[in-house]
Amino acid sequence: MKIPILSIMSGGAMAQAVQLLAYPLVARLYAPEDFGVFFLLVSVISISMTIFTLQLEAAILAGRKSHIQILGYVAFWVLLAAVVFYSLLLLLFGEWFLRASNIAWDVGYVMWYVPLGLFVHGLYALSVSRTVRQKRYGRLAISHVTLALSTVVVQILLGYFALGVVGLLVCDFIARILGLLALNSPRDGWRIRGFSKSAVVKVLVRYKRFPLLLAPAAVLNVASQNIQSICFPYFFGAGQAGQLGLANKLVSAPVGLAASAAGHVFTGEFAASPTPEQQRKIVMDALYYLTAIALPLCSCFAFASEALLVHALGAKWELVGTYAAILSLGLAASLVVSPISNIVVIKNSLSIAIIFSVAELVVRSLPYVLMLVFDGFSATMVVFAISFGNLFLYGAALLRFSRLVDIHLADYLARIRPLVLAWLLCFAPLAAAYVFAPGALMLFGVMFVGLAVYFLYVIRKYARGQR
């Protein structure tokens, strides 16, 4: 399991490094309001994609190799139908939404990117699933790098022309197209020509649990993940939403990379494990290595982001570091739990998936409900509530998901005890520097040394375990 994860993460790490290094320049070329509207539209696309792909990307991962083409064929036409549906929706209700919205839309026609973005994002998600199903991890790594490089180059180019949110949307479209080209070669592209009706019906009946059972949980899950990108601009304006969205990007980029790589590979390894003992070992190993990554990430963002990010991004992004520090705790918890949650739930109980997704939506919606009830509930307090809600939610999920594969919390804690001790020793100086010498240069130096010593320890432990 570890080698495929490293293969996916190698390309993903390069991609994230390119984007993170480019943010200081990109942030100076765009306003927070541009990112606020952009993140809102992308969130609508993400929720819509989860609905209209019918979770067929999960069916491709779990299904037979001979069924991949048919599943892709069905998904393609469903996405086309979704484009028509959204286009009609915008024609009928687009002007009403602009008048009713609390957001200052300088260019209302950017909403027309939703159907187009839905189509290219959906095709990209399906292509990623097929690439993983075929175990072409190298191609997936190349796609990560292609997506990142094209995003950075086009964002910078269009930023100099002051295109604002339009430039961000054009960049998103071009990057997805180039990512699709990197994932698909002409000889193995999707077959768009038709299949017999009986073959399509047979495959859809076989995988009916994905659109009928898994999709509701997935829709609730993605809605809870994107609710802040939709509600935050409404209550606090697009500028504040842009600050929070960029903070989320900076924190979730490394977290999402590790979680996505582990989740893709873990899904296949867990599904292929025939015995409960093998499944238990895979889950325990995954929890250990994900915890090893989550601890230093959380520490670096919590103690160093507030001082470092304002210097890197510029004065107009003064809230990004504060929001990143607050969000780090909840996102670190999500890194440990989210890669194991989907497949454990699918193999054991889909009802738990729906319950957990409802809980996610409730916890992440609660801050906005409280804001309506109590006066003086500020944007920072909402972000605090989001982060601690995530921590509570994923802590409860870890307990429940562990029981499904017969893992006890005591076993997990005993396994990570030396890891936690090493983490405390390596990052205690960073906490001290944050309190007594919060200068950016000092924090960066202490953080770099702590990371180097910590990961040297983790690598040595891993090498001993392979002997």
Question: Rounded mean pLDDT of 164-180?
Answer: 92
Model confidence band, residue 281 (pLDDT cutoffs 50, 70, 90): confident
Work out the number of other CB atoms within 10 angstroms of the CB of residue 456.
12
The better pLDDT of the pair 14, 180 is held by 180
Work out the number of other CB atoms within 10 angstroms of the CB of residue 275.
8
Q: What is the pLDDT of residue 2?
A: 47
Model confidence band, residue 115 (pLDDT cutoffs 50, 70, 90): very high
Q: Does pLDDT of 184 surpass 70?
A: yes
DSSP state for residue 53 in the 8-state scheme: T
Q: Does pLDDT of 10 surpass 60?
A: no
Q: How far apart are CA 209 and CA 180, in angstroms?
A: 27
Model confidence band, residue 234 (pLDDT cutoffs 50, 70, 90): confident
Q: Does pLDDT of 430 surpass 80?
A: yes
Q: What is the pLDDT of residue 105?
A: 67
- Contact between 326 and 254 under an 8 Å Cβ cutoff? The reply is no
Model confidence band, residue 464 (pLDDT cutoffs 50, 70, 90): confident
| Of residues 173, 159, 70, the one with CA closest to residue 112 | 173
Question: Rounded mean pLDDT of 344-362?
Answer: 68
At 63, is the secondary structure helix, strand, or coil? Answer: coil
Q: What is the pLDDT of residue 192?
A: 58
Question: Rounded mean pLDDT of 266-274?
Answer: 60
For 66, 445, 452, the CA distances from 449, given in Å and listed in that order, are: 50, 6, 5
Question: Rounded mean pLDDT of 339-362?
Answer: 68
Q: How far apart are CA 367 and CA 224, in angstroms?
A: 12
Q: How far apart are CA 460 and CA 24, in angstroms?
A: 34
Q: How far apart are CA 405 and CA 349, in angstroms?
A: 11
Q: Does pLDDT of 384 surpass 70?
A: yes
Report helix angle 113-133 to 68-100, nearest 10. Answer: 150
- Contact between 301 and 324 under an 8 Å Cβ cutoff? The reply is yes
| Of residues 385, 454, 457, the one with CA closest to residue 426 | 454
At 357, is the secondary structure helix, strand, or coil? Answer: helix
Q: Does pLDDT of 345 surpass 60?
A: no
Longest pairwise C-alpha distance within the chain: 71
The better pLDDT of the pair 225, 26 is held by 26
The better pLDDT of the pair 213, 176 is held by 176
At 318, is the secondary structure helix, strand, or coil? Answer: coil
Question: Rounded mean pLDDT of 183-189?
Answer: 62
| Of residues 31, 102, 39, 112, the one with CA closest to residue 317 | 31
The better pLDDT of the pair 114, 337 is held by 114
Report helix angle 197-206 to 68-100, nearest 10. Answer: 80
Q: What is the pLDDT of residue 466?
A: 57
* Surface-to-core class of residue 164, CB atoms within 10 Å of its CB (0-12 exposed, 13-18 middle, 19+ buried): buried
- 62-94 pLDDT, tens digit per residue, is 767 777 788 888 888 889 999 999 999 988 888
Model confidence band, residue 3 (pLDDT cutoffs 50, 70, 90): very low
| Of residues 227, 187, 211, the one with CA closest to residue 51 | 211
Q: Which two tokens stand for residue 140?
A: 């997936």
Q: How far is CA 27 from the centre of its chain?
A: 21
Q: What is the pLDDT of residue 465?
A: 65
- 26-72 pLDDT, tens digit per residue, is 999 999 999 999 999 999 998 888 888 777 777 777 767 777 788 88
**Rounded (to 5) percent helix, strand, coil in the chain:** 90, 0, 10
Q: Does pLDDT of 467 surpass 70?
A: no
Q: What is the pLDDT of residue 423?
A: 94
Q: What is the pLDDT of residue 1?
A: 46
Q: Does pLDDT of 227 surpass 70?
A: yes
Question: Rounded mean pLDDT of 346-364?
Answer: 72
Please state which of the ranges 114-118, 135-139, 187-191, 222-226 shows the lowest mean pLDDT. Answer: 187-191
The better pLDDT of the pair 147, 355 is held by 147
> Mean pLDDT of all residues in the chain?
81
Q: What is the pLDDT of residue 174?
A: 94
- 118-154 pLDDT, tens digit per residue, is 999 998 988 888 887 777 777 877 888 888 889 889 9
Q: How far apart are CA 371 and CA 385, in angstroms?
A: 11
Model confidence band, residue 337 (pLDDT cutoffs 50, 70, 90): confident
Q: What is the pLDDT of residue 424?
A: 93
- 388-413 pLDDT, tens digit per residue, is 888 888 888 888 777 777 788 888 88
